Structure 1
């Protein structure tokens, strides 16, 4: 085979611009009887070895169990006799569950699901396809690639969706922050609300960044307006909450918030919970807890594993054993009895570490806002389960998590370590139990040992000795590095005491933000820069300590602790200490807020904590 060249195929570009409707393609597939459905190979060294040995092209189909168009493409395109025959003769076809493989999901998420990656027999990239492709269009594309390969002219197509990586031009994170903030702001739909206009996703990270920038720059109207925009967006996206069972649908169509696409996925539930919890804490208005309760009703019911932990997703449509389907628009318009009479859409009961980390963190934050002990109990049970079934010692004072239970996977993923580490810190914050801080520290130590790159930043996963072609290149993805930095910055704040103690966590966090801060990568990440921006802000922000000084079992101290937890301050580290340890024994339980330059007077009345804390924080 000739070396792949960076050429553009005009005929294929034309094919990709056209997309037949599912209904027309469905009629064509009804006659598919000769070859049967496509048979999928596993993601394994044997599959890639077979492709190289037999000189077959590789097709990788990245799907999600909840994905409507993935199901349609299965039923229509991959069941088509011509497509099935072409694939069987000329390709090794591999299917990957995007939720089960964070590394493959990260690589292809810009193309949505289903994503179709077409590669040479040696796993060199040729082209990637976004979404559904009708059988006739798909078969034409396959034949063209087969002919190119036979002539030795196979070449890689340029793709604007491909993540571009470049080294930062300098180490000025403030310059990078300004550029990335302007980029994110351009996505905001002033009239329709939310970040993006054609499809309305309840993006949680831009909302968190909006809250943070309004807090840190509270004297600048350019930034404070984003608090109101975030709150208005949260109001609008409540239309995506299922009024019968609760839970939030993944997104809405046609630039409005009330035309949902009906899958429910864990990441969306976690992000929305965190947003609504923080809205309640920031505004002091309990009405923001109402949509959060509708989401937790679903989360703690349908999506909770009996042994602790949370499932991954629920399908948008009801798909039944007789191969008949009820589309989500019809199904979710029914009441509870009507839905149950038809059956329940499939729930993906996999329990993954990264999604559980995000959910645990959100439940802990909602517990802070509401005081609902059931939320904390669910978060504690999930964390206990993940550590027991996904964790293993990886060295002295080191803990590594597998993605799924059983510790069977050879790879360890950055998203799992960072999300669960961040979650464990949230549990330490609300319980003051040192075991959660200890586990988070062990995760951070393992992350630094096995995932940190010598030139800064973190790889998406540990080294895969079986990887070939493009998959042998480990990537440093921006969103996952941002989460890792956020986790390490919070851990540093908890462990450096009064600021005079060095920790091994601050500089790796800074290096991670710099490593993924090149202009090309920032630009190619679009809206996915919000958590990165939050991490930059927290890196440069002054530290706040909130200390509750009381004897164990003191009811006033306990009330002060609960009042302090309801204070929304992303810069803060919370701690409980006994009188005389760090602060003098005045004979009464008290809260102290301290920055790098001043401390508040002792706050002894739980009813005054919110007002006095806010007054102090606005001066910082």
Structure 2
């Protein structure tokens, strides 16, 4: 029994569902997270109420899942946010569900679910449409996809407060990066709003989102994934502008991640809001005398890969040695503790129960080691092994499943999330250039094409779909540097003001002369001997 809630929580697994079948009871699935204030409040206000706990224990098989540790469960049963309370049949099909439930709401829902179960039993369960096995809406990959998403930027942009949409504001770092090349003013104004409203100016790090259109009602969770992605977005804004107002938030956030969340092995997954609502109004000295917010120091593969990618991006534009050193340490942890000899990625470190072969983890690890190859001159072999494992195990019907199509409940039903497919396709395009293997580019094309039939319904939340489609419709901007890593030419190539470019360091071959950089444009190669010549060549080609 969990003494905090008085509910006899079971772990997710076949035993819990076998018990539900044996006792003819529905499963009550609680999706929770360490960083989720509402989850802890629901434990305190609802699950610790003795009569509710007794009702749950007597009439249901209660299962608690950490959504960060078990993302496949999260994606199949999430009711729109956390906490989620979902009710399932013993087969794992969905009966009904809700988000936060106070004591009165929980009593009503428990009674209603029991009535439904007594009347219909297993027949009341359903499989959501996304898991029904229907083919994705395939179509041709054309420039119209990028044009549509670029148009969505303007259509959904909030001219008054910045950001996209007229409700709660999330930072949307990948949308910002898409906009940096297509609607730069929108991107920069949005980053200004993110910096001014979501950055903790005492400890560093970005909060998860603002609850209203004007960036007020800030929710004070700090998640590794959000912060790593914002480091990269701010660094890329600095690449285009050279302004410290975009470099400094990235630097502060790197300091936060490598201080507050550093475990020695990697970066922990999250820091939740403080118990008291005033914590983030305190200065550094006052915070030192107050209980710190709840922290989850689990080292997740995807988040740490994203951080390594972001740190190396920042280092490439600034020569910051701290960012490079921590990136190296993260890459070492990924190699040693989270990627096996077959290229299979384990979701988090230090627990044999961790899932493996999750699409998002593989996509981010491939991207991180492709970035390492460009910036440090090493890593492409790991990227290739991890990509090959994902292709072998997760790729079918011209797109990727989110993980192995097996497991308890509806885990055996394939899910093809567009956002993780886009991340993998983007990483495969990088890998194709760095290895010279066009098969990766073709798999990326098929993956983007698998969703292209519904491209006109894709919105700004997945604007990166347009970026990858655009990359597939034109030759990539590639700079081959026939010089050592860290040379002036190499550093200049990394700082070309296009964050979608690819840099191939230590380029060798009869076509390359040592000590020169080559701008590759289709079958043509334009040589430069100095950083200034390289920049002039890039500018000239951009005007054609």
What's the TM-score, normalizing by structure 1? 0.81
Secondary structure of the residue aligned to 1:355 is helix
**Distance in 2 between residues matched to 1:297 and 1:61, nearest whole Å:** 34
The change in CA–CA distance for 1:317 and 1:602 in structure 2 (over 3 A counts) is: same
The answer as to whether partners of 2:232 and 2:314 remain within 8 angstroms in 1 is yes
Alpha-carbon shift at residue 526 of structure 1 (Å):
4.9
Unaligned runs of at least 5 residues, structure 1:
1-33, 215-225, 319-325, 497-501
The equivalent of 2:18 in structure 1 is 49
Contact 2:5 2:43 in 1 (8 A): no
Residue aligning to 1:151? 119
Distance across 2 between alignment mates of 1:421 and 1:600: 29
Per the TM alignment, residue 60 of structure 1 is displaced from its structure 2 partner at its CA by 1.3
- Post-superposition shift, 1:351? 0.2
Task: Tell whether 2:425 aligns with 1:482.
Answer: no
Count, aligned residues:
539
Superposed, 1:8-407 pairs within 5 Å as 37-108=6-77, 111-130=80-99, 132-152=100-120, 155=124, 167-168=136-137, 170-179=139-148, 182-183=151-152, 185-212=154-181, 214=182, 226-239=183-196, 240-307=198-265, 309-318=266-275, 326-327=276-277, 330-394=278-342, 399-406=343-350
Structure 1 position 618 matched with structure 2 position 542:
yes
- CA–CA distance in 2 between the matches of 1:185 and 1:60? 40
Does structure 1 conserve the Cα–Cα contact (< 8 Å) formed by 2:357 and 2:403? Answer: yes
Shift of 1:155: 3.1
Q: Distance in 2 between matches of 1:139 and 1:527?
A: 39
For 1:574, the equivalent position in structure 2 comes to 503
Instruction: Label 1:98 to 1:559 Cα distance change in 2 as closer, same or farther (>3 A).
Output: same
| Residues 441-467 of structure 1 deviation map (CA, whole Å, 9 limit, x = unaligned) | 1111111111111x1111111232x42
1:377-403 deviations in Å (ceiling 9; x for gaps): 101101101211112123xxxx11110
TM-superposition CA deviations, 1:22-69 (whole Å, max 9, x none): xxxxxxxxxxxx996222110111011111111111121111111111
Cα distance, 1:595–1:295 mapped onto 2, change above 3 Å: same
Deviation at 1:115, TM superposition (A): 1.8
Determine helix, strand or coil for the equivalent of 1:600: strand
Q: Tell me, yes or no, if the aligned pair for 2:528 and 2:534 is still in contact at 8 Å.
A: no
Q: 1:565 aligns with which of 475, 490, 494?
A: 494
String of CA shifts for 1:187-217, please: whole Å, max 9, x gaps.
32121111233212111011111124x2xxx
The 10-residue stretch of structure 1 (200-209 or 173-182) with the greater mean CA deviation from structure 2 = 173-182
Residue 244 of structure 1: how far off its partner (Å): 0.9
Q: Which residue of 2 aligns with 1:458?
A: 400
Q: Which runs of 5+ in 2 are unaligned?
A: none
- Report Cα offsets for 1:249-303 as digits up to 9, x if no partner: 1112222235421111101111111111111111233332111122112112111
Report the counterpart of residue 520 of structure 2 in structure 1: 594
Question: Contact 2:85 / 2:98 at 8 angstroms: preserved in 1?
Answer: yes
Aligned match of 1:494:
434
Gap change, CA 1:172 and 1:562, over 3 Å in 2: closer
Q: For the Cα contact (< 8 Å) 1:541–1:571, is it kept in 2?
A: no
**Following TM superposition, by how much is the alpha carbon of 1:102 offset from its aligned partner in structure 2, in angstroms?**
2.1
Query: Matched residues in 2 for 1:411 and 1:170: separation?
Result: 31
Matched residue SS, 2:505 = strand
SS in 2 for 1:594: strand
Counterpart Cα distance in 2 of 1:85 and 1:188 = 49
| 1:540 equivalent among 465, 469, 473 | 473
2:362 to 414, 417, 431: 417
Going from structure 1 to structure 2, the CA distance change for 1:170 and 1:248 (only over 3 Å counts) comes to closer
C-alpha distance 162-340 of structure 1, shift in aligned 2 (>3 A): farther
Q: TM-score with structure 2 length normalisation?
A: 0.92
Q: Quick check: 1:51–1:92 contact (8 Å CA) kept in 2?
A: yes
1:512 counterpart residue number: 447
Q: Is 1:445 aligned with 2:380?
A: no
Q: Which moved more, 1:72-81 or 1:121-130?
A: 121-130
Whole-angstrom distance in 2 between the partners of 1:161 and 1:70: 26
Aligned to 1:531: 464
Q: Distance in 1 between matches of 2:222 and 2:248?
A: 19
Q: CA deviation at 1:159?
A: 8.7
Contact 2:26–2:90 (8 Å) recurs in 1:
yes
